[in-house]
Amino acid sequence: MKKYFILAFAVLLSTFAAQAAPSTLALPTNGPMIHITPLLHASFQIEHGETVIQVDPTKSGNAMHPKMADLILITDIHGDHFDEAAMRAVDSNKTLVVAPQAVIAQMKSFQGRIIRLDNGSTKNNLPGFPNVSIEAIPMYNIERGPNAGQKFHAKGRGNGYVLTLGNTRLYIAGDTEATPEMKALKNIDVAFVPMNLPFTMTPEEAAQGVGAFKPRIAIPYHYRYPFDKENNHAQQFQMALGNSKIEVSLLDWYPKTAIEAASQKQ
């Protein structure tokens, strides 16, 4: 069912109000700076020194001219996360890809450069990345699905990730509700949290999940879907966190150039 909503996303994206160029969040660390740049919807780029990591790159997101990737993380099989053509566009011919088995089963490229990571597994010291650790966190629906007895995202199919760069831990939630695994996370510096219905959770539910593990910074993403009519989920999330000490960073996930690029493809 979600594929039809993804098509609708591309068609209706042009109706959103144009915004400024994408913001970039700079994070000081005990080593190289980390720069986080939103591309579109659920796609973003992480730069750690000279290492470039692309998360769920997509064709529309590539309109923002991301850099060539050293490492690509894919969370799930749906088209707003897994877009092999977009992955090839940022492939340096040395790029490593980390993905769950459900994604790998559909991939035709990157043979010999794919690292399978299952829920609960961790990879340390990847080839060429001695200071990078990646842990696969279950991402799934607890309650929501297209029909009785079905879930939009079944447990075990997709991955959220805890990405450790030096001493900085980033949680990339993927498509998920506020699961027990999310709430049990520890020592997270930055958390990317989705809040688009009907597939994940409300801003208030996202705030409850984040409030349980208390990251230093929370970044709402994967929230401005065409059917989120009021388009203020990030602000609702910020309000729902209330007086917590969690800093909310409202990055620009829908810059004007990406909206125009998507609309020109219709």
List of residues 6+ apart from 8 with CB closer than 8 A: 226, 227
List of residues 6+ apart from 230 with CB closer than 8 A: none
pLDDT of residue 20: 44
Cα dist from 95 to 38, 87, 109, whole Å: 20, 10, 11
- What is the gyration radius of the CA atoms in the chain, in angstroms? 17
pLDDT of residue 259: 52
Secondary structure E strands in 141-213: 158-165, 168-172, 190-194
Phi, psi of 107 (to 5 degrees): -85, 140
DSSP string, 80-139: TT--HHHHHHTEEEEEEEEE-HHHHTT--S-TTSEEE--TT-EEEEETTEEEEEEEEEEE
233-240 and 203-213 are packed helices; what angle lies between their axes, rounded to 10 degrees? 40
Amino acid at 26: A
Strands 168-172 vs 158-165: parallel, antiparallel or unpaired: antiparallel
Instruction: Out of 98-107, 151-160, 243-252, pick the least confident.
Output: 243-252
Tell me whether residue 143 is exposed, middle or buried, using C-beta atoms within 10 angstroms of its C-beta: 0 to 12, 13 to 18, 19 or more: exposed
Mean pLDDT over residues 138-166, rounded? 94
**In whole angstroms, what is the distance from residue 67 CA to residue 45 CA?**
8
Instruction: Check if the beta carbon of residue 213 is closer than 8 Å to that of residue 185.
Output: yes
Taking CA 43 as the corner, what is the angle to CA 224 and CA 251, rounded to the nearest 5 degrees?
Answer: 60
Instruction: Check if the beta carbon of residue 133 is closer than 8 Å to that of residue 142.
Output: no
pLDDT of residue 5: 41
Band of the pLDDT at 264, cuts 50, 70, 90?
Answer: very low
Q: 165 - beta bridge partners?
A: 132, 168
Amino acid at 144: R
Taking CA 162 as the corner, what is the angle to CA 215 and CA 27, rounded to the nearest 5 degrees?
Answer: 55
pLDDT tens-digit map of 205-255 = 999 999 999 999 999 998 764 445 455 778 889 999 988 899 999 888 876
Check residue 235 and report its DSSP letter: H
The residue with greater pLDDT, 213 or 7, is 213
Q: pLDDT over 90 for what percent of the chain?
A: 63
Question: What's the predicted TM-score (pTM) here?
Answer: 0.87
pLDDT tens-digit map of 67-84 = 999 999 999 999 899 999
Instruction: Out of 50-54, 175-179, 253-257, pick the least confident.
Output: 253-257
pLDDT of residue 64: 81
For 169, the 3-state DSSP assignment is: strand
pLDDT of residue 210: 97
Instruction: Check if the beta carbon of residue 134 is closer than 8 Å to that of residue 46.
Output: no
